[in-house]
A and B are shown apart, each in its own frame.
Chain A
Amino acid sequence: MARYIPPKQSKIGQMIDVVVLLILSIGALYIPLWLGLAGSSKLPLPADNPTWESLGQNEVMVERWNALGFADPASAHDMITARFDYSFTWGALALMVVVIVGYFVMMLRLSEKEYREVIAEKFDGK
């Protein structure tokens, strides 16, 4: 097997690759945020006429909220009651495991294939 000589990429080909990379980075990471598909699942609990007591705030806490500019319980209500929803389905957890493990397995297998070519050409002159 002869030593591998890579083809020379044209300027237009390089430009297309640059655009593809830009689209991939923004498309995969920003578009889900923009569409509101991704984002923290932190939501405030609805409540009518909240009081500091009903929000579970003691005297020192109330004093700190006031110092922070939250003069009444209604203004601090959303921040105080917002909680993450940590409930999850086993299916979603399994999907996460499959995606992460699958990514590493795929990457290691394809890397290994490329690596064998590198080592063969470097050490065996193939």
Chain B
Amino acid sequence: MMANTDITSKTMDGMGPHGTKVGLLRVLGPAHVWALGVGIVLVGEYMGWNFAVGKGGAYAALIACWFAGILYSCVAMIDSEVTSTVAAAGGQYTQAKHIVGPLMAFNVGLYLVFAYTMLEAGNAITLGYLISVAADMTGATEPLDQRPFIILAIMFLAWLNYRGVLATLTFNLIITAFAFCAILVLFFASAPWSEGSMLAHGELMSGQAALPYGWLGVLAAMHFGLWFYLGIEGTTQAAEEVRSPARALPFGTLAGIMTLLIAATLTWYICVGYLPWEYLGDGVNGAVAPLFSAAQMTGSDALIIILGFGTLFATLASANGCINDASRAWFSMGRDHYLPQWFGAVHPQYRTPYRSIIFLVPIALIFALGAPLDQVITFSILSGLLGYTFMPINVILFRRKWPLDTIKRGYEHPFHPIPAILLIALCSVTYFAVFLGYGTQLIAMVSFYIVVSLWFHFWRYRFVKRADQFTMPWPKPRGY
């Protein structure tokens, strides 16, 4: 999602998908929160989720989708409470600064940057694939080299962000709505209630295709199950613009999760009914854009065009938002001196965080051009997963340092600490799921965060002012 906010403002924190301003008019209702969340995440239905089929089979992907829904419900509940209290928005980065400490905040900022930058690379790969298929369909005699299109897409969107020519929220919502409706169109056009339907779940999911890896595959599928919802937690970062955070944040976010659960289940139902699971589960050489592949199976030109545009719109909206959000997160860390303050510069004419935008372009490019889609998505998921692991720690420390009677919450999540414990348990299962098949990436990613943490603590932190990091009007935390 694009943020039409002035990043030079002293009262605005650039973190998060929407960028929020302190003292901004509270104009958003639950429906807006819902729309923001679904808009960010919908690309997850168009690509990437199908690797869950590859890791465990079709049934495993569905079970993972539902369990991931529980994980995200815990995330939404916990995040709503903390965010409804943190007056100077900025999402989890600001929460970590005030509740856990500077190093945690630095890591949370990096989680955001890498989750978004890797998602951007994934979007560019999908876009390149889509263009190569379009070339094939229009009679190209040789396979199209996707690389120039990947480079052009990233450079063009980075340039748009550099110039500050931001797509409006409304425009992004329209193309997201189109992408959502395209899924419904494909579902109804497939007419699962009709006897002549091409959907063949019984035959395609019989025998070894049912649970090819047994129950271990169900666990393993949880890895990519997160992709159905990754980013929905960004809705809570609109806290300052919401009329009634206590009602709108949990309601809007949970309604968003329910919508995605429906969209994800429909997507699953359509795709596994059209495509053999081995093809569907191979998102690198097989179904890169599974809904588009399903539309191709129908043989209907109209459906192919609708789902082609649905995929195109979902990836473009997401990639554009990713560049915007990742660069703002990087910029905010530069402004706080967590990173060289050189990154905290604003373009004199366009008023954009131009150095952060430029810095992240080669990182996105190198992964989009040199890494397969499943690896890129895994890096994005791992950054998200580390962020979800931070949340239960965060809420437990929050309740301990500021018990309920010390500061007023806009929203108190029920049954504490059960959601925190459940979230930790589901995160642990997901780490194990990533370990199955992608253990090296897991170790590489965590090693990266360990090294940059040491760099931050022993070198970088000397350039950061101490008390200035704590800006909340809260009493002194208990135990200090």
Q: Choose among A14, A24, A100 the residue that contacts B451 (Cβ–Cβ < 8 A).
A: A24
With a cutoff of 8 Å between Cβ atoms, the chain B residues found around residue A45 in the complex are: none
Q: In the complex where A25-B363, A28-B448, A28-B451 touch, is A42 in contact with B462 (Cβ < 8 A)? A: no
* Residue-wise interface mask of B (433-452) relative to A, using a CB-CB cutoff of 8 A (1 in contact, 0 not): 00111111111111111111
In angstroms, Cα B54 to Cα A82, docked, is: 9
Asked if B477 lies at the interface with its beta carbon under 8 angstroms from chain A, I say yes
Contact A103 B278 (CB under 8 A): no
User: Which of B29-37, B230-238, B248-256, B334-342 sits within the interface?
Assistant: B334-342
Least Cβ–Cβ distance between A84 and chain B, in angstroms:
4
With a cutoff of 8 Å between Cβ atoms, the chain B residues found around residue A39 in the complex are: 372, 375, 440
Contact A4 B203 (CB under 8 A): no
In angstroms, Cα B173 to Cα A12, docked, is: 43
Q: In the complex where A29-B445, A114-B461 touch, is A119 in contact with B436 (Cβ < 8 A)? A: no
Least Cβ–Cβ distance between B184 and chain A, in angstroms:
23
Contact B100 A61 (CB under 8 A): no
In angstroms, Cα B207 to Cα A65, docked, is: 17
In angstroms, Cα B460 to Cα A6, docked, is: 11
Contact A110 B455 (CB under 8 A): no
Contact A114 B457 (CB under 8 A): yes
* Residue-wise interface mask of B (197-218) relative to A, using a CB-CB cutoff of 8 A (1 in contact, 0 not): 0001001101111001100110
Number of A residues with CB within 8 Å of any CB on chain B: 75
Contact B480 A86 (CB under 8 A): no
With a cutoff of 8 Å between Cβ atoms, the chain A residues found around residue B476 in the complex are: 119, 123
Q: In the complex where A26-B366, A84-B55 touch, is A58 in contact with B437 (Cβ < 8 A)? A: no
Q: In the complex where A26-B366, A79-B286, A104-B389 touch, is A96 in contact with B204 (Cβ < 8 A)? A: no
Contact B453 A38 (CB under 8 A): no
In angstroms, Cα B461 to Cα A7, docked, is: 11
Contact A86 B477 (CB under 8 A): no
Asked if B10 lies at the interface with its beta carbon under 8 angstroms from chain A, I say no
Contact B340 A9 (CB under 8 A): yes
Q: Choose among A15, A21, A24, A111 the residue that contacts B102 (Cβ–Cβ < 8 A).
A: A111
With a cutoff of 8 Å between Cβ atoms, the chain A residues found around residue B174 in the complex are: none
* Residue-wise interface mask of A (90-117) relative to B, using a CB-CB cutoff of 8 A (1 in contact, 0 not): 0011011001101110111011111111
Asked if B4 lies at the interface with its beta carbon under 8 angstroms from chain A, I say no
Asked if A56 lies at the interface with its beta carbon under 8 angstroms from chain B, I say yes
In angstroms, Cα B323 to Cα A2, docked, is: 41
Asked if B177 lies at the interface with its beta carbon under 8 angstroms from chain A, I say no
Contact B100 A84 (CB under 8 A): no
Least Cβ–Cβ distance between A90 and chain B, in angstroms:
12
Least Cβ–Cβ distance between B293 and chain A, in angstroms:
8
Q: Choose among B207, B297, B374 the residue that contacts A67 (Cβ–Cβ < 8 A).
A: B297
Instruction: Return 30 A-B CB contacts under 8 Å, by A number.
Output: A6-B337, A17-B460, A22-B363, A30-B367, A33-B375, A38-B441, A40-B438, A41-B437, A56-B209, A58-B206, A59-B203, A60-B203, A61-B204, A64-B204, A68-B297, A79-B278, A96-B442, A99-B443, A100-B431, A104-B393, A108-B100, A110-B101, A110-B103, A111-B101, A111-B104, A114-B102, A114-B461, A118-B470, A119-B470, A122-B470
B residues neighboring A (CB under 8 Å):
54-55, 100-104, 107, 114, 200, 203-204, 206-209, 212-213, 216-217, 220, 274-276, 278-279, 282, 285-286, 293, 297, 337, 339-343, 359, 362-363, 366-367, 370-372, 374-375, 379, 389, 393, 431-432, 435-453, 455, 457, 460-467, 469-470, 476-477, 480
Given A79-B278, A111-B103, 12 other A-B residues pairs in contact with their CB atoms under 8 A: A21-B339, A24-B455, A25-B114, A30-B370, A60-B200, A60-B204, A86-B437, A88-B436, A96-B435, A107-B453, A115-B101, A119-B470
A residues neighboring B (CB under 8 Å):
3-7, 9, 11, 13-15, 17-18, 20-22, 24-26, 28-30, 32-34, 37-42, 56-61, 64-65, 67-68, 76, 79-80, 82-86, 88, 92-93, 95-96, 99-100, 102-104, 106-108, 110-123
